[in-house]
Each structure stands twice: as structure tokens, then as C-alpha cells.
Structure 1
Amino acid sequence: MKTAATLPEIFEGMVRGGAYDVAELGLTFYLRSLEQDPPYVALPIFPNRVFRHSCVFVNVHSGITGPADLTGRTIGEFGTYGQDSGVWAKGILMDEHGFRPEDNRWIIGGLEHPAPPFDFIPHPHPPQVDVSVAPAGRTLNRMLDDGEIDALFSANVPQCFLDRSPNVARLFADFEPLERDYHRRTGIFPIMHTIVIRRDLLRLAAEVYRAFAEAKDAALERYRGARRLHQVQTMVPWMNALVERNATEFPDDWWPYGIAANRRTLETYLRYHYEQGLSTRRWKIEEIFATELLDI
């Protein structure tokens, strides 16, 4: 079997035919597949979580200087309308700034390479939301830089921004204070991905959870121990100061697995998914995770 090179390829392998016994899967890919009774079920293991104020990029010539300016704009999104980072970004903007996705035009395409929308998942969206596909041969990165789209909601930082294009900026240039304030007020550390396991292997769910938890705890312990050496192995100046600052805001386990420590974050995501028209109903946590691990 060909080794998957990217996360979308891993997702496709799992969604199309259960190519793996255990795999990482984006939450929106998982929720969409639940409508079709998939042969796998999620475990409360969360390998990908990122604050998302930083994931909205704008063309500086579009006149967008704040969230209110997003109304009536053309916005790009990678692969599907409502990828995980986009669900969070839209939801946060809706809750805190009155953003309305239906007031915009959405263009779906490849970020750095031309690509059609993912063809292995459904693409639900409310009928009043205008969603179309990027022109053939065009990338969202280039369209943003050239001003063909006004904004981009992206899990990955587009290359034009990394190349310091004068045409592109973040919607929230000083995003860290906003994300820290959001976390203090809500207790939410956004979750994008979960781990799924084939249903016929659910007898191993507790062992899989324990293995992932032990690996995560080992990684956390390396960060804790590296404080003695000023986090020198990361090769990032002032990383030690960042770790120490984070320690004042986060509990000792700042990347928790399990339901109890993540209930509010998960319930918020499920609400966003439903409010944005990506689910036919609002799922409950107890319906989407393995019953064997609901008490963790």
C-alpha cells in the first residue's frame, strides 16, 4: 500500500475504505462521515489543536482592516467549505464579532497547488451560502496575493505571507494577545483533529488511548525538563520565556486528552458545526466518541 504523504491523503484513505486500523482524522471529516455510519469511531485523543485568530489572511488592498470589513467579501478556503480551522475561525468571528458567512462568497481550491475540492466527503452548506470552485490552474495562495480573493481562512500559513508579500497580512496582526484573552475568558483551546479506530478493534480502545497519552506525556516532560537548559534544543530564541509565560496560564497538562478536560471545547465545536450548516443535527459528545472512553 502506498504511504500517505499528507494529512488529506490519510483522511481519504480512512474515509474511503478504512485503510488503517487507527488514524488521525479531522473532526469535520469525521462528523460528515457519521451521516453514513462509518466503520470507525473516534477516541478522545486530540493531536492537533491551534488557536485560530491567526488563521485569517487578507489582501491589504481590499480595505479589510477589521472583522466588520469582511462583510460582502470573497473568501478562500482549502479543500472544502468548513475545514476544521475554518469552522473555528468562522465560529469565533460569529460569536465575538457578529460575522455572517452567508454574507460572503466562498472559493474552494488548493492552497499552494491547484486542486479541486476533496471528492471523498460530502460538501454540505446552507443554500444561502455562495460556494464555488477556484478557477482551473489557480491556487488560493496566488489568488490572495493577486487580489482575486479578499481574504483566506487557512489552516496553513500561505506561502505569499511567508515570502513577506506586501499584498498580504493577517486580519489580526497582533493575534497572540487576542488568543490569550480568548482562552482566559472561555477556557477553550481549539481542537481540529481526533484519532479514530476501526469498530471491530474497539476492544483495543483503552490500550490505544493509553499509548497516545503516554507518548504525549513524554513530550510534555521533555518541555518541562528542557527549562533547565533554556529550551536550547528547540533552536528558538526566547522559547524558555514563552514556556514559562504559558505555565502561568495553562495547567500542568496544557494539551489534555479525554472528554472531561475538553468538554467545553468539543461542545463549542459541535455547536459551530451545526450552526454553519455542516451537520444535519447538533451531535452530542456521547454520540461521537467510543463509549468505552466517555468517562476519561
Structure 2
Amino acid sequence: MITLSAAIGRYPQTAALLDGVVRDGEVALDCTPFPVISRAFAPMVREGRFDVSEMAIATWLQAWAHGKPLVLLPRVLAARMQEGSLFCRTDSPIRGPGDLLGKRVGVRAYSQTTGLWLRGILQDAHGVAPESVRWITFEDAHVAECRDPDFATRAPAGSDMVQMLKEGALDAIISGNDAPSGDWLRPVFPDPAAASAEFLRRHGFTPINHLLVMRAEHAHHAAAVLRLMDAAGAAPSSGRVVMMPAIAFAAYHAVRQGLILRAPTPQEIWAGLPPDIT
């Protein structure tokens, strides 16, 4: 048996794996605790620190674009609708996403996956092109080689995004899982649930946030890793065929937004994965 190092977040479908309840005769996963799993993404793409890792779809696309030796596994670890993650002040003149033209919008990193999805939604459904917004960022991309486009500006060091919105230095912000709260702010989408339902009706999938990757040198153990994942719990919207529409949407908009130069082909997306894994 081989033991592979891993960085995987705790979800209902991964708890049994992290707690050592499920086992496989070929592979064991030694999971490093990460209370905030996104903090594992940069060490994975910059140093290859883990053999198996959860990874944001935007990070994976940039890692692929820069030739990182990673193999994408056909499993989704986190997926959610995105419209409820865009906020403005309650007293803002912004009445909907179309009003963001020319506005200052804060996002943790320009490459943050929620930002990728929301910029795609803004462009497709509301006519708000990425370059028509003044993006204010607070962190670098996980992939060290990546640079933000010219229409993204770094906030002063030590700035707090939520406080900047509160003080009026930003017109709107994109949150991740740590959504702010308070009666001083509201969603930019007047009815986020209805907007999410419309996205699902139009596209037929829930946006993918986090995927599963492994170092290419261990790809021959991919089937065993997936057996462990599947034994722990059902992964949402997983499998090559099911995942492709979401990956294609994300890749198209990653190009449009200046995150990558071109979208990977289906063959490039699954390169290195044993062909019998679907």
C-alpha cells in the first residue's frame, strides 16, 4: 500500500475519509488539516506540496495554462449558485447587476472562483463586460506566474474589503463562503434565488467551485483515490460527462477575463487520467 499526502476540506461527503472510516487496499490518504481549504491551493500549485489536493476550478485552469504537472480527477468537492455572493450597501443607488458598469467592485483575488463565475454571469446575462468594471483586489493568484489584467487594481496593503464597502471606498464586493452580514448591506441581485434558478434553467448545471487533482506522477493510483472518495460519500455533480458543461463555461470565461490565454480541449482537461475512469 502507498500513502499519499492530501489536502481535502471537510464536507458531508468527505468526513468519513478524513476521519479514517473508509480504507482501500491500494492507497491511504494522509490528510493535512486545513480549516480554510483554499490556503492549500497555492502550496499545491507552487510547490507540489501534496500528492492529492482539492483545488478551485479557476486555480486549476491557471495551473493547467502554466503547465503544472497535475491531473484532474472527475470529482466535484464543492459547487454552489453564485448570485447571492455579490453585495452592495443598502443605501447604494445600485438596483441590479446591470448597474455595476464603471463601478468599483472588491474581490479577494481577481482569480477567485466566485469572481470568475459572477463575471461570467454579469457578461452573459447582464451585458457587463469584465473590463467595464473597476476590480479592486487584495491577494495574488494562487499560481505565481499569473498576473491580473490592467483593469484590476490592488487595494492598499492592509485594507479590509468589507470595511472599504462600508466606508464607501467600494461600490460592491464579491464574497466567498465567509459572506458578510448586517442590515447595512444587501445583495446586488434583487432576488438571488430567482437569478440562480434562471442560471440553472439556462445552463443546466450548478457552478463548480472546487475540484480534485493529483500530481501526475501518481496518476496510476487515480482509481484507488476515487474509490476512497466514493466510499466516503456521494460527490455532487461528478463524472467527466456531467462536469464538462461547467468546466467549458468556466474555461471560456477565464479566457474572456484574462485569466488564461486559451481554453483547454476536452482531451487536455482529462490528460493523464486513465481512460477507464469516467
The TM-score bracket by the shorter chain reads 0.7 to 0.9
| Corresponding residue number in structure 2 for 1:131 | 152
Task: Please state whether the residue corresponding to 1:292 is helix, strand or coil.
Answer: coil
| Corresponding residue number in structure 1 for 2:179 | 158
Q: Is the alpha carbon distance of 1:50 and 1:11 closer, same or farther for their aligned partners in structure 2, counting shifts above 3 Å?
A: same
| Corresponding residue number in structure 2 for 1:19 | 49
Task: String of CA shifts for 1:166-206, please: whole Å, max 9, x gaps.
Answer: 2x110124211221232123202100111111111111111
| Corresponding residue number in structure 1 for 2:97 | 67
| Corresponding residue number in structure 1 for 2:273 | 291
Q: Which runs of 5+ in 1 are unaligned?
A: 110-115, 221-254
| Corresponding residue number in structure 1 for 2:116 | 87
Paired letter, 1:158: A
| Corresponding residue number in structure 2 for 1:122 | 145
Of residues 164, 167, 174, the one that matches 2:191 is 174
Task: Please state whether the residue corresponding to 1:82 is helix, strand or coil.
Answer: coil
Q: Is the 8 A contact 1:44 1:257 kept in 2?
A: yes
Of residues 204, 213, 216, the one that matches 2:221 is 204
| Corresponding residue number in structure 2 for 1:226 | none
CA deviation after TM superposition for structure 1 residue 134, in Å: 1.4
Q: Is the alpha carbon distance of 1:36 and 1:117 closer, same or farther for their aligned partners in structure 2, counting shifts above 3 Å?
A: closer
TM-score of the aligned structures, taking structure 2 as reference length = 0.81
Q: What root-mean-square deviation, in Å, do the aligned CA atoms of Structure 1 and Structure 2 show?
A: 2.2
TM-score of the aligned structures, taking structure 1 as reference length = 0.77
Equivalent pairs: percent with the same residue?
A: 29
Q: Is 1:43 the counterpart of 2:64 in the alignment?
A: no
Paired letter, 1:207: A
Q: Is the alpha carbon distance of 1:24 and 1:90 closer, same or farther for their aligned partners in structure 2, counting shifts above 3 Å?
A: same
Q: Is the 8 A contact 1:68 1:99 kept in 2?
A: yes
Task: String of CA shifts for 1:25-67, please: whole Å, max 9, x gaps.
Answer: 1111122122332232111111011101111111233310112
| Corresponding residue number in structure 2 for 1:77 | 107
| Corresponding residue number in structure 2 for 1:189 | 206
1-structure distance, mates of 2:142, 2:226? 30
| Corresponding residue number in structure 1 for 2:18 | none
CA deviation after TM superposition for structure 1 residue 11, in Å: 0.7
Q: Is the 8 A contact 2:98 2:126 kept in 1?
A: yes
Alignment: residue pair count: 247
Paired letter, 1:123: C
Q: Is the 8 A contact 1:33 1:121 kept in 2?
A: no
- Tell which deviates more after alignment, 273-282 or 31-40: 31-40
Task: Please state whether the residue corresponding to 1:212 is helix, strand or coil.
Answer: helix
| Corresponding residue number in structure 2 for 1:239 | none
CA deviation after TM superposition for structure 1 residue 5, in Å: 4.0
CA deviation after TM superposition for structure 1 residue 138, in Å: 1.6
Task: Please state whether the residue corresponding to 1:213 is helix, strand or coil.
Answer: helix
2-structure distance, mates of 1:295, 1:199? 15
Task: Please state whether the residue corresponding to 1:282 is helix, strand or coil.
Answer: coil
The 5 A counterparts of 1:132-281 are: 132-159=153-180, 161=181, 164-166=182-184, 168-217=185-234, 255-281=236-262
Q: Is the 8 A contact 1:12 1:120 kept in 2?
A: yes
Q: Is the alpha carbon distance of 1:186 and 1:123 closer, same or farther for their aligned partners in structure 2, counting shifts above 3 Å?
A: same
2-structure distance, mates of 1:153, 1:170? 10
